[in-house]
Every structure is written in C-alpha cells, then in structure tokens.
Amino acid sequence: MVHGAVLNPAVARKSENLAGTIRIPGDKSISHRSFMLGGLASGQTRISGLLEGEDVLATGRAMQAMGAHVRKEGDTWIIDGVGNGLLLEPEAPLDFGNAGTGVRLTMGLVGTYGFEATFTGDASLSSRPMGRVLDPLRLMGVQVTAAEGDRLPVTLRGPDIAVPITYRVPMASAQVKSAVLLAGLNTPGTTTVVEPVMTRDHTEKMLTGFGADLSVETDADGVRTIALQGQGKLNGQEIDVPGDPSSTAFPLIAALLVPGSRVTIENVLMNPTRTGLITTLLEMGADIAIENRRLAGGEDVADLVVSASDLRGVTVPPERAPSMIDEYPALAIAAAFAEGETVMEGLEELRVKESDRLSAVAAGLKINGVDCEEGKASLTVRGVPGGKGLGSVSPTVAVETHLDHRIAMSFLIMGLAAERPVRVDDSAIIVTSFPEFMDMMAGLGADISAERKAA
Ligand code: S3P
C-alpha cells in the first residue's frame, strides 16, 4: 500500500563522486498512452520499456476492467485491444491512485460511451481539479456527477451519440488536450482542439501511429489546431518507450551538484516539448554532453554525459514552462546551489500538481536554509554554491511531501550536496513514477537511506 497508509521517511546525506551509467525507466506520459491506445486498438500492441510505476499500472488495470487483455511476457507487455468504440462498462469504480494523467485521459477516453464509469483516487488526486476535463466532456453531451468543486469521485455517463466540439484549451495542459482528443475517438465527425501554447505532443504522435486520421496545423503565432476524425479504426502497434526526461532530472541534477561526479544517463527522450530543463541547465553552465542522438520508436532520444558543474542563476522565461512543467522542483534544488539568483516565472500550473508544488518547494527550501521567495506564479531562489549551511537543522525537521513523488525525490537530491542531511517525511510515494529511484541512486554512490515508520 503506497497511498498514504504508511509513510516511509528518508534521509539523504552529503555524498561524493557519483559515478556510473544508468538507464532511466520508461516515460510516464508515453507509458500511460501505450496502455490506453493499446487497450483500445484492434489487434495486439507490444510494449517494451514500459514504466512499471504505480500510476501506469493503474491505467493498465483500468483498461483491463473495460475489456482489454493485458499480460507480460519477459520484458514485453502484450495487450489485446477491444477495438475503437468497443470498450466495456467497468463493473467497479476505476481507482487511479495518485495518477492525474491516468484519470484525466481515461475520463476522456470513456466519457463519450453510453454507460456509467466511476473514477476514484488517493487523497492527493481527490483534491485536484477535474473541471478542466469535465467541462469539454459536458459540451460533448456527457452527464457528470462529481464531488464539490468538480473533484473525485466522478461518475460519467455518455450520451447515445456524442457531439463533436471545437475546444480551445484554456490553460497550458497536455492532459486537457489529450482528454478531448481521446473523447473524439468515440464521437462522429471532427473533434478539434485549439492549443494556444504547445504542450507535450505524445497523444497526437501516438494517435497517428495507431492509424487515427489526425491533422495538426500551426499558425504564425504558434497556435496549433488539431483535428481528429472520430470513429476510425485503430490498429495495435509495437512501442518502444524511451527513458523519462522527468525522472532523468533527479540523477542529472544530483550529478551536477555532487562534487567530482560523472554519470551517463542512457536513452533519454529528447522530444523538444520535454527538454526545457536541459536548456535551462545548459544556460546555468551545466556540463551536459548530449551524445548518440538517434530515433527510437518515432521519438528523438540521446545519452547524457553529466559532470559536476558550478552553476549560476538564470531567469527562466514563462513560455518555457510547458516544456519543463514537472521539472521545477528539481530545478529549484539546482538553483539552491547556483551562484546568484534564479527566477522562475509562469508557474501557475504548479499549484495543481500532485501537491501545490510552488508552496511545497518553497517550504522545503526554507526549512533547509535556502533563501527563496514564493510569488503567486513565480519562485525566486538565491543559491549557496557548495551548499554551506544548507540542510536540516535538526533530525526532527523533515520536508512535507504531501503525497508528491517529485517533492520527495527533489529534496533527497538536495541532501546529497548540502552540508547537513536533508530529510523527507515520505519516500514510499516515489513508486508512483520511479520505483527504481532508491536503488539507482545508491548504485551511483548516493547516500540515501529510508527507515520504515508507522504514520
Ligand atoms: C502530462 C501532462 C502534464 C504533466 C503530467 C503529465 C501528460 O500535466 O504535468 O505529469 O502526460 O499529458 P498537465 O497537462 O496538467 O500540464
């Protein structure tokens, strides 16, 4: 049981010379979509490199509950899909645990079916806004029952025939874009999404790969219009999931901050909608060699050779936020060790992640001695090169992780370079996205230890 029943506090201590070669587990976004589209398509989908984190496994179980056959042979996941338009009514509520992407995209996928489906999640997921996905579904004719403020648990019942819509996504969100497109799969005619600010494009790419009739036009201002013809046939695919750039952030930043380190990270997804962190770290003076660029499964991938570096503060422009939205907690840690000030802007979406990441990061930095300021949608961090004076003042002081895997991993990385240890109140939640994190970091020489205690 990972979702809050038992907290597993952990402590990270100053380490030296992280070294080695690691292969980061599969990308979470692509893994979710592989289970969804594989479960929906006709015929067989074979997935290698799938992320076996709790979030993704919840999506696999949901697809199984709606008729897909999912099994694992050796390292390959094999899915026999139901065929577009042929999902079955789930007999029990679909529990998505901590997974925002899983629940929001699946609501789109099944919302337009003429049956009832109920969605539940853990305390973190149940506090997150679902209206951003429920609003376009309502426009398509879906009946919605939700807890106060459009939160989980949510029950959806689709109309006999869903209405195709043109939907302008009101916030930079790949999840909202994707939910509308997936709802369009079971809708007659053309479902159109207008995306003023480009976000990760895995749904568009993968839908095209599975045979959907989908077109994308980008105007002179960068506004994208994505048109999907509904009720087409999808065919099972072979998918090789590249390494997750969001998980990469943790060993990457650890290697930059821990003196004497040199770490190679293989097979990292380099899709430009996901590389904002690398761009930013290079601007900060990071020594990251991008080697062996190649195509894998239709995506750019590369190996990163990372050496310890003296970083300097930068201003990260708001328009970069969508391409590094999950990486700000880790970047804030890098900023805590950089010379001068790092200013991060355009962070309003950070408030509705697995936790309010803006305030969780600021609170964690402050209790570990970092000078920072939390704005409404910004974070300013004044760094201490070498980390002198940073870390917990007492063994009873721990960062509150709020059921947020990325808050836990970010502060554990901080402890590897700070003068004093850094503690987090929970590390169990890390299994949602990066179950191998502890072992992989230990293998590089990081001093992180967990002690199991009752909550
Ligand atoms: C994701 C989109 C992002 C991201 C999340 C994964 C996706 O969320 O934070 O971890 O796979 O589409 P938003 O769409 O809410 O920005």
Name the band, by pLDDT with cuts 50, 70 and 90, for residue 453.
Answer: low
How much distance in Å is there from the Cα of 209 to the middle of ligand 1?
A: 20
Location of structure tokens 């195509």: 295
Which residues are catalytic, by number? 326
Which residues have CB under 8 Å from 296's CB, separation 6+?
240, 242, 267
For residue 171, the ligand 1 atom closest to its alpha carbon is 16
349 lines ligand 1 (CB under 6 A): yes
Question: Where does the pLDDT of residue 291 fall: very low under 50, low under 70, confident under 90, or very high at 90 and above?
Answer: very high
**Probe target for ligand 1 pocket from 200, 324, 404, with the most ligand atoms within 8 Å of CB:** 200
pLDDT of residue 6: 80
Record the pTM: 0.97
CA separation for the pair 193, 446 (Å, rounded): 45
Average pLDDT rounded to a whole number, residues 247-267: 98
CATH classification (class only), 28-229: alpha beta
**Cα–Cα distance, 394 to 391 (Å, whole number):** 9
Mean pLDDT, the chain, rounded, equals: 97
Residue set of the binding site for phosphoenolpyruvate: 28, 100, 128, 175, 357, 406
Q: State pLDDT tens for residues 11-45.
A: 999 999 999 999 999 999 999 999 999 999 999 99
What is residue 445's predicted lDDT score, i.e. its pLDDT? 98
Q: Does residue 2 register a pLDDT over 80? A: no
Q: What is the pLDDT of residues 54-72, one digit of tens each?
A: 999 999 999 999 999 999 9
**Residue 181 near residue 108 (C-beta atoms within 8 A):** yes
Q: Which homologous superfamily does the CATH classification assign to the domain defined by 6-26+244-454?
A: Enolpyruvate transferase domain (3.65.10.10)
Which pLDDT tens digit goes with each residue over 318-377?
999 999 999 999 999 999 999 999 999 999 999 999 999 999 999 999 999 999 999 999
Ligand 1: does its nearest atom lie under 6 Å from the Cβ of 169? no
From-to residues of CATH 3.65.10.10 in the chain: 6-26+244-454, 28-229
